[in-house]
A = this chain, B = another copy of it.
Amino acid sequence: MSSRFTVTYHVRGTSADIEARARAIAVEQSVEMPLEAIRDETVLSDIVGAVEGIDDLGGGFFAVRIGLATATVGHDSGQFLNMVFGNTSLQDDVVLRDIEVPEALVQTFGGPRHGIAALRSRLNVDSRAMTGSALKPQGLPADDLAALAEKLAAGGLDFIKDDHGLADQTYSPFAKRVRACAAGVARGVRATGHPTRYVPSLTGNLDQLRTQARLARDTGLDCVMLAPMVCGFPAMQAMVHDFPDMAFFAHPSLGGASRIAPELLIGKLFRLIGADAVIFPNFGGRFGYSPETCRDLAHNARGTGMRSALPVPAGGMTLERTREILDFHGKDTMLLIGGNLLMAGDRITENAEQFSRAVADYV
């Protein structure tokens, strides 16, 4: 008997053709060839995708549930993506909507190694929401970013992350930047007594990611950020395995979320491969996600079955919205405010303090 897991696609179609279209997707995402040409009974019974159900969503859209064989995934998170959406991602009538991740794959990929509880413990934060900001703009030399990091840390924030555009550019090489910003944050920590964490952004191939993570570790850091869609799921999976003491923040860059539902990609899959915190563009900012999408994404990140990942609403958030965002997302959340904190150049620390207080005082 073969073990299967259910993948839900939203498909544009008509009542007349949806059954055939569903069967075609089941074939495309498994054996990718005409069934008439398959003579192996085991392949036909255990490997070919099976249509498990079709629901008419109205408006010319259908929810198609397909059972895929767990055996086709192996142990590679890239192959997992390949099996659930590889070729079908090229067909524009289909959105990958959800996956019921089976226990076998939860065991394989492991989910967050730390998650919300461990992040709270590191920061000595019991129950309030957590706070964060970002080092910007890219193009600044390392010392200027470090000065900014110190100002933000002096405001008592929990996390200060690199902007995801910061890589290993000549105007601010990774090693120099990370050492300088870590020192900047450490100066802020000495002023406040609060153990603010600096979260550098890692880029490049697996060799480069490892070199950068080792440098971060040797600098005394215990959090890093990766963009799984840029570095690739397999690289993220390997990093989570190789650096068990690091907490991993996942950045949504290149998430192209209109074709893979962000609730699934960011909330569920980034968590599955080990993200301890997942950054996403919250509603009402510069991005078009709906409140429902953001709620479901955060719900998926915190859900049962593996450690909870910390949802990090971001993308144009403002100080003024602190209460509203916490009302909506609750306290198992990290608020990330970047550009808005940086607007008043001479009062960055005061802005950060105000942000820290607003979150601490929230009831």
Binding site for B on A (CB under 8 A): 24, 28, 30-34, 36-40, 42-43, 46-48, 69, 71-76, 78-79, 81-83, 85-87, 89-93, 136-140, 144, 163-165, 167-171, 203-208, 227, 230-235, 237-238, 252-260, 262, 281, 286-289, 315, 338-340, 342-343, 345
Q: Is the Cβ of B33 less than 8 Å from the Cβ of A82?
A: no
User: What residues on B are CB-neighbors of A208 within 8 Å?
Assistant: 76, 234
What are 10 of the A-B contact pairs (CB < 8 Å)? A31-B137, A31-B138, A40-B144, A48-B137, A71-B139, A72-B138, A76-B204, A86-B164, A86-B253, A90-B256
Q: Give the residue of B74, B140, B238 whose beta carbon is less than 8 angstroms from that of A207.
A: B238
User: What residues on B are CB-neighbors of A342 within 8 Å?
Assistant: 33-34, 37
User: What residues on B are CB-neighbors of A281 within 8 Å?
Assistant: 87, 90
User: What residues on B are CB-neighbors of A140 within 8 Å?
Assistant: 40, 43
Closest-CB distance, A320 to chain B (whole angstroms): 15
Query: Which single residue of chain B is at the shortest CB-CB distance from A85?
Result: B254
Beyond A42-B139, A43-B137, A78-B203, 17 extra complex contacts between A and B, CB < 8 Å: A24-B286, A31-B137, A32-B136, A38-B137, A39-B345, A40-B139, A40-B144, A47-B139, A69-B139, A71-B139, A71-B169, A74-B168, A86-B164, A89-B256, A90-B289, A91-B287, A232-B232
Q: Give the residue of B40, B82, B231, B235 whose beta carbon is less than 8 angstroms from that of A165.
A: B82
Using known A-B contacts A87-B253, A343-B36, determine if residue A76 contacts B139 with beta carbons closer than 8 Å: no
Query: Which single residue of chain B is at the shortest CB-CB distance from A339?
Result: B33
Cα A186 to Cα B260 in complex, Å, equals 41
